Amino acid sequence: EAGVTQFPSHSVIEKGQTVTLRCDPISGHDNLYWYRRVMGKEIKFLLHFVKESKQDESGMPNNRFLAERTGGTYSTLKVQPAELEDSGVYFCASSSFTEAFFGQGTRLTVV
């Protein structure tokens, strides 16, 4: 069984540009979660999808961040425009009714 995959694994962009991160959950998993770890700080929850619906987006930092999950399959997280403080590791997890499986994350560097 394929695990949760994320790409790109690493992205370097300039301040003001747009970046789109992608998460492919395990097939059949309705729940998809996005987290991020900003440099040197703890991991923070961003949002939770149940299928294509946003169940909880209380962790989204501001309106520069847009998450979508069209069709309830893969999800994208767009940052537009990116700021320096957005640098960090963004990772996702998916689950069905039981435990979650985590992706290895995308390292975003904004310069």
Partner 1 sequence: GENVEQHPSTLSVQEGDSAVIKCTYSDSASNYFPWYKQELGKRPQLIIDIRSNVGEKKDQRIAVTLNKTAKHFSLHITETQPEDSAVYFCAASIRDDKIIFGKGTRLHILP
Binding residues for partner 1, per CB under 8 A? Answer: 9, 31, 33, 37, 39-40, 42-43, 45, 48, 56, 88-89, 91, 93, 95, 97-100, 102, 104-105, 107
Nearer to partner 1, 37 or 64 (CB): 37
| Distance of alpha carbon 100 from alpha carbon 63, whole angstroms | 27
**Least distance to partner 1, CB of residue 107, Å:** 6
| Distance of alpha carbon 32 from alpha carbon 72, whole angstroms | 9
Is the N-terminal amide bond of 25 cis, ω within 30° of 0?
no
Which residue carries 């923070």 as its tokens? 44
**Least distance to partner 1, CB of residue 41, Å:** 9
**Least distance to partner 1, CB of residue 76, Å:** 19
Q: What are phi and psi of 65, to 5 degrees?
A: -105, 130
